[in-house]
Each structure stands twice: as C-alpha cells, then as structure tokens.
Structure 1
Amino acid sequence: MIDRDPPGTTWQEPPRILRTLGLLHGELRVHHGLSLHDYLVLGALAEAPAHPLPVAHLTEFLSESGDRMSYLLRGLQAAGLIERRRRTADRRTVEVSLTEAGRARFGDAERTARTLLGRHLGPRKEAA
C-alpha cells in the first residue's frame, strides 16, 4: 500500500529545526549508537556541576516519566556509558555518573551535533 496525500493537499517541507533534529537523531544513531534522548542524558551528566547526578534531576530535565528514564538508563548502563548506584546516605536515591567510555562517546557525539547544528541552523546565506 502506498501512502498518498488526499487530493488537493500539498506537502510542505518541515520547519528547519524539525528537519535538523531529525538529521541529528540519524547522525547520532549511525555514528555513535545513541538516540537523541541518550545524547541529552549523557550531555546532562557531562555538564552536571556535581557528580553523580540523581535520577530525579535527569527525569525533570527531560520531562520524562520515571519508567521511561529507567528504560533509557538501562540501555546506557548496558552499553557501559553510565554507572547507577544508590546514594550511601539515602538508599532511596539512585545516582548516575558517566563512565570514561560515556564521557568519550559524548565528546564525539557533541562534535557531530555542533557541526550538524551549525551547518543547518547557522545564519542563512543571502542569495547574491
């Protein structure tokens, strides 16, 4: 079955930001094995002033449910990019930190993201 637009409708190019985020997601997947969410989690951990970071802060940062965040963190932990452990002083709190592999993967992904975002969202060149 072939999807077609109803007669009388025209397809419009998605806004630049949406197209760019889609491209970024693809680049992160292909070159770094990360989803856009994975990249955001690793970035939050890399930029955190205090290490490790409580899972609750990551959940709030991404506006995700606890279940979704657990799913994302399980995948990152299985890949060896993060470590999760319970806080010693309060065993109810789970904290997350980057591994050296996670820090390196984020650094590579960050370079890819900056290049792609600069290319697609940087200042537009005027036609001569």
Structure 2
Amino acid sequence: MSIFIYLGFLILSPLSIYLANKLLYSGKLRNYSVALISALLVYIFIIVSVAYINNKLDNQLAAFDLNGDGIFSGIEITPDQEKAMQEVIADTGRTFAPITGAIFCSIYFLVLWLVLTVFPQVVKLFSQKIT
C-alpha cells in the first residue's frame, strides 16, 4: 500500500465524518465524537493494513514450500526463499502495530479534537475583527 493511501485516509476519514455529521445529523455529534470515531477508524485501518501485509508475505513465503509440509528443506531453500523468510520474520513493526497504532491514534484524536474545537473559534474571532 502506498503512503498516499494512508495520508488520504487520515485526511478523508475525519472530513467525511464531519460532513456527514453536519448534513445527516444536523451537527448533533460533538467534536469529541467526530474525533473519536475518526481515530477508531484510523486504528482499524492500521490493523487491517497490517493483517493484509502479513497475509501477503505469508502467501509469498508459502509459494516456496513445494511439498506443503510447512518446513523448508532441501531444494526449497533458495536465495529467493531466504529473502521472503527474512521479510516475514524481520519486521517487528507489524508485531507492535496494535500498540504503536493505539499511541498514534491517541495523538491523532487529540490533534483532531483540538483542530475541530479551536479552528471555529479562531474563524469566529477573525470574522469579528473584520466587521
């Protein structure tokens, strides 16, 4: 997955929830709820992305298991198999994704909540100074 997909999701999820709140719910959801729902969606997106990558790497590695016994031996061990094995076992980021995802989403929630709370007040303040 591309970095642009992740960045797009980070931007579009709160925007779509905010617009849905304004259009469908007449603004009944508080900024806190909009930020919380967005953070939860981003967390789910992170976990699903990690599961997708794990599945993809496992399938690439399983392609080298010719006899299907789950153990690599003999002619199954090739430089390409070793490279695929290294990609599966060497990434601790996927292992710790639920923890780092929770930390990231907590920070994301706080920043988003502050933006949703402070931005309208700043706009209101500047509009009063202009008039």
Using the size of structure 1 for normalisation, the TM-score is: 0.33
Using the size of structure 2 for normalisation, the TM-score is: 0.33
More helix, by proportion:
2
More strand, by proportion:
1
Rg (Cα) greater in structure: 2
